[in-house]
Amino acid sequence: MLRVVKPKTKQARRALEKRAPKIKENVKKALLLHGTSTSAVVKGVLSDLHHIKKDGGNAVHWTRKNENIRPFEPAGAAPLEFFSKKTDCSLVVFGSHSKKRPNNIVFGRFYDNHVYDFMELGVERYKSVKDHGGARKFSPQVGSKPCFAFIGEAFESDEKCRQFKEMMLDFFRGEEVDRINLAGLDRVFVCVATATKVLFRHCAIRLMKSGTKVPQIVLVDVGPSLDMVFRRNQTPGEELRKEAMRTVSKAPQKKIKNVSSDMMDGKVGRIYMPKQEVGEIALKKMKGLKRERREAAAALPDGERKDEARKKLRQNDEQ
Amino acid sequence: MAAEEEGAGMDSLSGLRMDIGNLLVFDATDPGIEEASTSSDDYDEQCLRKGARAIQALAEKLFNMPSEADKYGRLVILPPPTTKLPREKPLPKPRPPTKWEQFAQSKGIKKRKRSKLDFDEDAGEWRRRYGYKRVADERDIPVIEAKSTDEPGEDPFSNMKKEKKARIEKQEKNRLQNLKHTLKVAGKSALPSTVQLSTMALPITGSAQVPKKLTKDELGEIAGHASTATASVGKFDRKLEGEKPAKHAGKHRKFLPVVGSSKEEKQQSDKILDKVLSRHNQEIVDVNKVSDLIFAFRGLANFSHGVLGFCVGC
């Protein structure tokens, strides 16, 4: 027998609606975790990436070790799929360290809680945020939208580099926006491809005065800096890629209430106001009325007059 | 600056491809950094230099784009991003129409917008159509006139309540049928995101009660009982990997000594008596049954009074 299960609280309902599939999707959340053995380098990398992405709850960092996770085996990737479903994270960074693959970082993506693709990189040189000097005056603000600079023809010709470029974009992009305040451009991810490696740098942008409208750009390395080597990778099948890339041509327009357009007047809006009790509106104290009070005081008999008048004037002056 | 001009002027030639919606610059003509000749510090310096050049070109484009004024400064209007990225969840599926929606479509019935407030003649004011203090609240009706079709002994108020309950049950049943139909036709993803359909297993026995779910503690207790139900009270049994020792080691019930002070025995029986006769206790004594009995008894006594007209033997 089937039974309808509904959330019992409004908060639970809102949480479920947030996780539901939508036309315009939420920012992708990242899950950072490591396997049975890690090195200081791997731990540092995970921690730094977490700090970059944690604004708005977009990153989940697990510090305990997790066994039996082998991303490149179908059975070994199942725990990652389960974690992705539970934490609603469609990006994953899995770090591990072994003799065969030292300082290993696997970037992964999920589609519909199933594996989409993986990319394995070995960190050869790592300089953490702390090594660069930690947070400074011109460090980028938490949660700001980054710029990306990919330098090197390999990002177009080489398959692994191309996948890396897509991954980095997906990972650090943040929200899709159509308006941006240019003063808030404060971080760049610079990736340079060499013959065997890819150099990943995270820099803060300093806008310096130039003579023109366009400021001069100066980059300052704030970390983390990673020199990485490509190891294994896994690409999605053609069908999966097609399905994941599907978009709706036009999202349904939200209805705007009380706005219409007129041939003569153009855009016309209606404002609804509550009924006003004109007789009881609180008015500002008019100084002109003071004279009336003085006159009223003048009409009083002599004995009371001076005290009354003085009292009233003092009150009015104070107000 | 020369470098700046070079970057700006040779934009299309230097092969800087930009995805402005994503704030992305791709320099395809740069050969990259040669490894053999450079040291690691040199890498950094070259990365920064090339990056700065690329971002300068992006800034050229951005600062010359149309902008609109805002509270905190000028906002530049970005074009939509051109790089396609995979989604994280599938597109929402439209759900098939419900039975009512199908019927309405075939008959051409259109939804009409009703006003939130209705005028209540009895109260002489505007009231909600539904909810607190609504227009036609059944509980507010003081008098219902009897109709010729009414049978004597029927309570029209309780009839109204029963009918309302029946309507609600019917609606819930229809809603479940609609959801099941949606599940069958379009799959789990077409259900509304806040609803789940779960299978509920009913017991095969005659009683209609759903078996209560055992809590973790209860399960632990039962497991403990079972583990000690051997000839040697579970002492020499080999334990499974990961099995925890039984919570209550030794005896499970404590009995008072046969010979001893009567004070403890009195306390024990007092405790039991309190539990049975307590007002809040609904497990040991069915309060509803008792109260029904009492009223029935009283009613009987009154009836006998009324009919006979005088006190019989009282």
Of B72, B86, B199, the CB nearest to A244: B86
Peptide bond before residue A224 is cis, with ω within 30 degrees of 0: yes
The closest CB to that of A215, out of B23, B33, B59, belongs to: B59
Q: Helix crossing, B2-9 with B40-63: angle to 10°? A: 60
Q: Which of residues 197-236 of B touch A (CB under 8 A)?
A: 197-202
- Exposure string of B125-136, with b = 16+ CB inside 10 Å and e = fewer, is eebeeeeeeebe
| Closest CA of chain B from A319, distance in Å | 35
Interface test with B, best of A148, A222, A275 (most B CBs within 10 A): A148
Distance CA B286, CA B281 (A): 8
Separation in Å, CA A291 to CA A297, A298, A314: 10, 10, 13
Show residues of chain A in contact with B201, CB under 8 Å.
1
Which chain A residues are Cβ-neighbours of B179 within 8 angstroms? 2, 4
Contact between chains at A178 and B4 (C-beta distance less than 8 A): no
Chain A touched by B33 (CB under 8 Å): yes
Instruction: Look at residue B9 in the predicted model and tell me its pLDDT.
Output: 36
CA dist A296 and A302 (Å) reads 12
Task: Decide if B27 and A227 are in contact by the 8 Å CB cutoff.
Answer: no
> How far apart, in whole angstroms, are the C-alpha atoms of residue B42 and residue A39?
26
Tell me the chain B residues in contact with residue A31 when contact means C-beta distances shorter than 8 Å: none
State the pLDDT confidence band at A42, using cuts at 50, 70 and 90.
very high
> Which is it for the CA torsion A119, A124, A130, A134, positive or negative?
negative
Q: Please tell me the CATH code under which domain A26-245 is placed.
A: 3.40.50.10480
Using the Cβ of B188 and the Cβ atoms of chain A, whether some distance falls under 8 Å is answered with: no
Q: Above pLDDT 90, what percent of chain A?
A: 52
Assigned domain for B34 exists: yes
Query: How far off is chain B from A131, nearest CA to CA, in Å?
Result: 14
Please tell me the distance in Å from B182's CA to the nearest CA on chain A: 13
Contact B202, B221 (CB under 8 A): no
Question: Which of B14, B19, B46, B89 should be substituted to probe chain A, the one whose Cβ sees the most A Cβ atoms within 10 Å?
Answer: B89
Q: Report the relative pairing of strands A187-193 and A147-151 from DSSP bridges.
A: parallel
| Residue A302 confidence (pLDDT) | 64
Instruction: List chain A residues with CB under 8 Å of B29.
Output: 153
B63·A109 Cβ contact <8 A = no
Identify the pLDDT of residue B206.
57
Strands (E), A104-145: 104-111, 114-127
pLDDT of the residue at B70 = 81
Residue B45 near chain A (CB below 8 Å): no
> How high is the pLDDT of residue A102?
94
- The domain in which residue B132 lies consists of 116-140
In a domain? residue B52 = yes
pLDDT at A202 over 90: yes
Answer with the one of B76, B97, B128 that is the final residue of a domain: B76
> What is the nearest CA distance from B92 to chain A, expressed in angstroms?
5
Q: Which of A53-62, A107-116, A133-142, A285-294 has the lowest mean pLDDT?
A: A285-294
CA–CA min distance B216, chain A (Å): 23
* Closest-CA residue of chain B to A206: B52
Percent of chain A residues topping a pLDDT of 70: 93
Per the CB < 8 A criterion, the answer to whether A161 and A152 are in contact is yes
Residue indicated by tokens 């240019």: A182
Buried b (16+ CB within 10 A) or exposed e, A75-103: eebebbbebbeeebbbbbbbbbbeeeeeb
If you average pLDDT over residues A97-116, what whole number do you get?
A: 94
Are residues A224 and A217 in contact, defined by beta-carbon separation less than 8 angstroms?
no
Residue B33 lies in a domain: yes
Task: Using the 3D structure, point to which of B99, B125, B140 is the last residue of a domain.
Answer: B140
- A7 contact residues in B (CB cutoff 8 A): 194
Q: Does B94 touch chain A (CB under 8 A)?
A: no
- Check B48 against A227: CB less than 8 A apart: no
Question: Quick one: closest CA in B to A11, which residue?
Answer: B194
10-residue stretch averages of pLDDT, chain B, 314 residues long = 39 72 89 70 85 92 88 87 91 90 94 86 84 82 83 86 94 92 86 79 58 81 82 81 69 79 87 82 70 81 53 44
B7 in a domain, yes or no? Answer: yes
CB distance A147–B44 less than 8 Å?
no
The reported pLDDT for the residue numbered B305 is 52
Q: Is residue B50 domain-resident? A: yes
A175, B35 in Cβ contact below 8 A? Answer: no
Helix (H) or strand (E) holding A53, with range, is helix A40-53
Q: Are residues B69 and B127 in the same domain?
A: no
CA distance A151 to chain B (A): 5
**Chain A residue with the nearest C-alpha to that of B43:** A199
**How many domains, in total, are found in chain B?**
2
Contact B75 A23 (CB under 8 A): no
A149:B27 CB<8 A: yes
Q: Please, are residues B169 and B72 in contact by the beta-carbon 8 Å criterion?
A: no
Q: What is the pLDDT of residues A107-151, one digit of tens each?
A: 999 999 899 999 999 999 999 999 888 878 888 888 889 999 999
- pTM here is 0.68
Give the mean pLDDT of chain A.
88
B15 within some domain? yes
- Interface A-B, measured as beta-carbon pairs within 8 A, has a size of 229
User: Residue A316 has what pLDDT?
Assistant: 66
